[in-house]
Amino acid sequence: MPMPRQMPLAARRVFRLAATTALALAGGYALALELPFMAPLFAFILASKPAPPMGVKGLLGLSLLLVLTLGLGVLLTPVLRYYPMTGLMLVLLGLFFANYVALNLGKGPVGTFLTAGIAIISTAGLTSMALATALIQAMVFGVAIGVVSLWLIYPFFPEDGPAPEMPAVAPAQSSWLAVRATLIVFPAFLLVLANTAYLPTVMKAVQLGQQDSVTDAKHAGRELVGSTFMGGLWAVMFWLGLSVWPSLWMFTLWMLLVGVYICARVYGVVPSRYPPSYWVNTMVTLLILLGPAVNDSATGKDVMTAFLVRLSLLVAVALYASAAVVLLERWRDRRVARGTRAVMA
């Protein structure tokens, strides 16, 4: 039976997003996907927008689009291998286009998937096509599980009406944001070229690069770096709680509880001095860190050492993104100021 609409809309959004993420996590691990943590990550990205879920046609179209965008990475692999400079230029242009789609056209998930195809799949293909194929399958199934999870949860926590329209962004501003995002993601891509073990850093760089709400040093440091540390702290607490009773049931329950806590701050149900984007970054960091840690535990690796390495890389990416935002915005402000003075002279 659907949840009574007497529950405030913001509270419904909190429970819908948290429950969808937890259900996708259960589905990803129950189906033993190659990269099961992709399912809750994509579920969180897709369900965070306050809108009804896409239909069956939408899912089929999104899956086809995902295969095509990820397939671009496969096509870039031989170019990167035999013509590296040409390949790097194509990657740079492709990243700009992907970020432009996300920031100017309001197609955040499409831009994210296109960026993943260009940056992640192309580098994975340099290692082995089997790895690239496994990543494509994991992402496609992860998106499908995320959408199906939202289908199952949405009737219990529906919206009151149509989704609010996103505010329009001036073309010049959005183009600048796309350039800025590209310059943040591209170094992470170069890092992954050196070692494919750093693939999660690309997803973090994409999420940081497409953050269009920070333009000064204070907010950049707090939102980009602070949220990364907060996500790492929550990942440690999550892991300690899960170690008490390591099972899929408890994994799902902890994800639900932590999701409610964080999503309540995303939608403003619980007052916070940090903006919603800060808590979105925190949740994404938590999922990026937690999934590989669970895989390390299953394969007998040193979980804590690997966790610290990943957290250090994510913090380094966040520090670079913060510095890049500050320097690029200052450079842009100086250019605008010089142009204004020239016009007035």
Look-up: residue for tokens 């609409």?
5
Select the more confidently predicted residue: 297 or 254. Answer: 254
Look-up: residue for tokens 């499908």?
144
User: Within a 10 A sphere around the Cβ of 274, how many other Cβ atoms?
Assistant: 15
Nearest to residue 94, comparing CAs of 109, 72, 74, 77? 72
**pLDDT for the residue numbered 217:** 47
Select the more confidently predicted residue: 165 or 160. Answer: 160
Rounded to the nearest 10 degrees, how much is the dihedral formed by the CA atoms of 80, 86, 89, 93? -90
pLDDT tens string 81-101: 888 899 889 888 888 888 888
In a domain, 164, yes or no: no
Q: Are 25 and 255 in contact (CB under 8 A)?
A: yes
In a domain, 306, yes or no: yes
Report the share of the chain in percent with pLDDT over 70: 87
**Which pair of structure tokens corresponds to residue 257?**
């509880």
In a domain, 165, yes or no: no
Look-up: residue for tokens 């170690």?
243
In a domain, 87, yes or no: yes
How much is the average pLDDT of 264-292?
A: 88
The answer to whether residue 256 scores a pLDDT higher than 90 is yes
User: Within a 10 A sphere around the Cβ of 158, how many other Cβ atoms?
Assistant: 15
Q: Report residue 168's pLDDT band, with 50, 70 and 90 as the boundaries.
A: very low
In a domain, 4, yes or no: no
In a domain, 103, yes or no: yes
In a domain, 233, yes or no: yes
User: pTM here?
Assistant: 0.84
Structural domain boundaries enclosing 101:
9-159+170-338
In a domain, 124, yes or no: yes
Q: Report residue 174's pLDDT band, with 50, 70 and 90 as the boundaries.
A: low
The answer to whether residue 345 scores a pLDDT higher than 70 is no
For the chain, what is the domain count?
Answer: 1
Nearest to residue 255, comparing CAs of 286, 298, 288, 280? 286
d(Cα 106, Cα 336) in Å, to the nearest integer? 26
